[in-house]
Amino acid sequence: MRMIISKRGRISIPGSLCEKYRLTTGSRLECLERGGGILLVPVPDDPIKAFRGKARGEVKALLRERRWDKVRETKRRIELFSLPYKNSA
């Protein structure tokens, strides 16, 4: 989609995109420079609320990995304390 920049440096976002991304008057956009171009990304009013639930699978995987780390560390400690004591005297 092509847009024209006004004398004041403003652009009009097509209505179809506004509807698709739920943009209304006062909506915030982040302007990023990427690969020789400009990327406009909608910024939610409450970023924390918008993110809630998005990383559920990643968090579960992380917690599972942390449990395995704890098991491995416990086994390592048991092995260390099970070694015979050598007296160098």
How many CA atoms, within 13 angstroms, populate the side-chain half-sphere of residue 54? 6
Position 89, amino acid: A
- Kind and range of the H or E element at 79? helix 56-82
pTM over 0.85: no
The answer for residues whose C-beta is within 8 angstroms of residue 14's C-beta and 6 or more apart is 1, 3
In this prediction, residue 19 carries a pLDDT of: 93
- Kind and range of the H or E element at 32? strand 28-34
Q: pLDDT digits over 10-64, tens only?
A: 999 999 999 998 899 989 899 999 889 999 998 887 777 777 777 677 778 888 8
pLDDT of residue 69 exceeding 60: yes
